Amino acid sequence: MIRFFIMNGKNSVKFDMPADGLFDHLGSIGINEDIPMCCSEKIYLDFYPTDDTDKIADIVCKRLLESDKISEVNALCQKLDGLWRISAEELETAFAENDVRGAANMDKAYEKLMNEPQQTDELSM
């Protein structure tokens, strides 16, 4: 869904989220804590959709905040990966209605969307 490139000093790692071994990836380059999405003097972080046609990954990447923790982004990616119950357009509309930004807020908006009754084209009898 989303590819991450993280460099800590001269050590770097590239992996895709959702990642089961997120903290193993970070630990492999000497990061032993949950890090924010912003860059620092010591840590460089870049991310982008793993596939140019993945509209949902693109939506998420554009709405992440520098203060989001990498674990929050991973949890959101786990929920959204392989999304089939709603379209990218429905997700974008749900996020755009209240200008939802940040992993935690996108997670809440997604949960709300998934708990709303789904419209159907079937006629009631």
pLDDT tens readout for residues 60-74: 999 999 999 999 999
Those residues whose C-beta lies under 8 Å from the C-beta of residue 9, and which sit 6 or more positions away, are 29, 30, 42
- For the entire predicted model, the pTM comes to 0.85
Can you tell me whether residue 7 is helix, strand or coil? Answer: strand
In sequence order, the 6+-apart residues with CB closer than 8 A to the CB of 23 are 32
Name the residue among 65, 70, 45 with its Cα closest to residue 106.
Answer: 65
User: Tens digits of per-residue pLDDT, 7-35?
Assistant: 999 999 999 999 999 999 999 999 999 99
Q: Which residue has the higher pLDDT, 74 or 125?
A: 74
Average pLDDT, the chain: 89
* 3-state SS assignment for residue 69: strand
Task: Report the alpha-carbon distance of residue 17 to residue 21 in Å, rounded.
Answer: 10
CA distances in angstroms from 24 to 13, 29, 43, 100, 110, listed in the order given: 11, 9, 16, 30, 28
Contacts within 8 Å (CB) and 24+ apart, 24-31:
26/70, 31/6
Which pLDDT band, with edges at 50, 70 and 90, does 118 fall under? low
CA dist list (Å): 56 to 4, 47, 122: 16, 14, 27
